[in-house]
Structure 1
Amino acid sequence: MKMEPSFCTAVFWRGGEKIDLNGQKPDAVRCLSVTGERKVNLSFLRDYPNLEELTLMEKCEGVEVLSELKQLHTLSLWLSAPVSWDNVSLPGLRVLHLRGEKNGDITPLLTSITYLHLEEMRKTEDLAPFLTPATRLQKLYLQSLPAVQELPALDGLPSLYALKLYELHKLNDLSALSHSHLRCFAASLIGDKLSAQALADAVMAIPNLEAAALQLADRSERRYGGIQKAFAAAGKSSLLREEISALTTWLSL
């Protein structure tokens, strides 16, 4: 059984720092989380050349050093002060998790990723700037985006086959699904004002749909009976596969 690499932490506060590498030497560390109450100069990451997963939180500077991390494939950002990514090249990056709206213009990071997770962006209405450059995207997870009312165009993402939505309460336009290349769709707590029929119709309009999880569209599951009836009437009941709503299952698709 493959052992999961342990996450090491580097915490910098105004009075000092605490780095916990779980007994490893820096060049053996594969996963690192960096938190800075004060602004952290990331040049110290040169001592961690074999990093594969990196989480950056709060305030950072000197992000150019990331270009030297040739093994880096997963990056999570939750910054409280934007940085410039213009001089950062990460051709090996495959997974990008963005939390909040202060990470700066992350366009340069999008070109090679296959999995994008957008989370807790309170004011963001238009998701197109995140998706248009991500032409290799295969999986997209949209979470806690209270201002989003319509899904962005998905037809320019030929490799995108799995979409998961969580807490998009104001979402009322799912028409982009009908022009997507999706095969798997899961949704929880979305489109509060959409009827069961409208929700079912939008999902059934996905041309190559193989599996859909919609039972948790509401906490009360109030619309699910109607959704089931709509799928049954269209002869598509077999497409309702609720097991894919679990994140671990969805990620393994």
Structure 2
Amino acid sequence: MEQEFCTAVFWRGGEKIDLHGLEPKVVRHLSVTGERKVDVSFLRAYPNLEELILMEKCEGVEVLSELKQLRHLTLWLSAPVSWENMYLPELRYLHLRGEKNGDVTPLLSAITFLHLEEMRKIEDISPLLMPAIHLQKLYLQSLPAVQTLPNLDRFHDLYAMKLYELHKLNDLTALSHSNLHYFAASLIADKMSAGNLAESVMAIPRLKGAALELVDRSRRRYGQIQKAFAAAGKSPLLCEEISDLTVWLSL
């Protein structure tokens, strides 16, 4: 039976830690947030954490190096911290929300799943991705300033990509140099024609499935996309079910 998510909430007048009756040493999933700066060194009492969410202001993050089971980390910090010399050997899933998490590149060396969300100002994600050489899945969400996808040819293990709310995206040529098998996109590339969008996706050399019905809320381009795939004899590659996040995560 899956363990419930435990929470630790810190506010200016106190704190509330809800572990659902569990002892800290057996907790596997924990969310930490607070109105004030939180010293997360208390996490030493949680040696078996596998999944951790850190939100707002934190200090003492070096304690994470002692969490030898940590595989899934979500950061949504309101003030950056230093990740220098941080080594998390089991970390495979990193979800970054916002742009104030500090230089997270030391966390990326073994990452297989990266989710970037709500980065309003970042225009080029290439520098951030550089250390993630073992990346298998990439989810880009709500990156309104991004116009071009990074070069994907260096990510030999990257087989699944999901895009959501990249309205200014106007160049998908990187897809043709990728090893992707699955591609899902919603609310992207507002100014790209249906034909160019379809051609860019069909150019993925190893494509097994693409979900493109929701590239517009009105679905105005999808009819033309379907026609383009049909004309190329690639209609079977349109697999709309993979646009569902649960399905995409299971690929």
> Normalising by structure 2, what TM-score?
0.99
Whether 2:158 is the aligned partner of 1:165: answer no
Query: Equivalent of 1:32, from 13, 30, 33?
Result: 30
For residue 5 of structure 1, report the CA deviation from its aligned partner.
Answer: 1.8
Alpha-carbon distance in 2 for matches of 1:4, 1:172: 42
List per-residue Cα deviations over 1:151-204 (Å, max 9, x = no partner). 011111000000000000000000100100100000000000000000000000
- Aligned residue for 1:202, secondary structure, equals helix
1:129-208 counterparts in 2 under 5 A? Answer: 129-208=127-206
What amino acid is the match of 2:122? T
Which runs of structure 1 show a deviation greater than 4 angstroms over 4 or more consecutive aligned residues?
none
Whether 2:69 is the aligned partner of 1:105: answer no
- Aligned residue for 2:37, secondary structure, equals strand
1:32-111 counterparts in 2 under 5 A? Answer: 32-111=30-109
Q: Which moved more, 1:45-54 or 1:3-12?
A: 3-12
5+ residue gaps, structure 1, are: none
- Aligned residue for 1:10, secondary structure, equals strand
What amino acid is the match of 2:215? A
* 1:9 corresponds to: 7
* 2:231 corresponds to: 233
List per-residue Cα deviations over 1:64-98 (Å, max 9, x = no partner). 00000000000000000000000311011000000
> Normalising by structure 1, what TM-score?
0.98
* 2:21 corresponds to: 23
List per-residue Cα deviations over 1:30-60 (Å, max 9, x = no partner). 0000002111111100000000000000000
Alpha-carbon distance in 1 for matches of 2:77, 2:3: 24
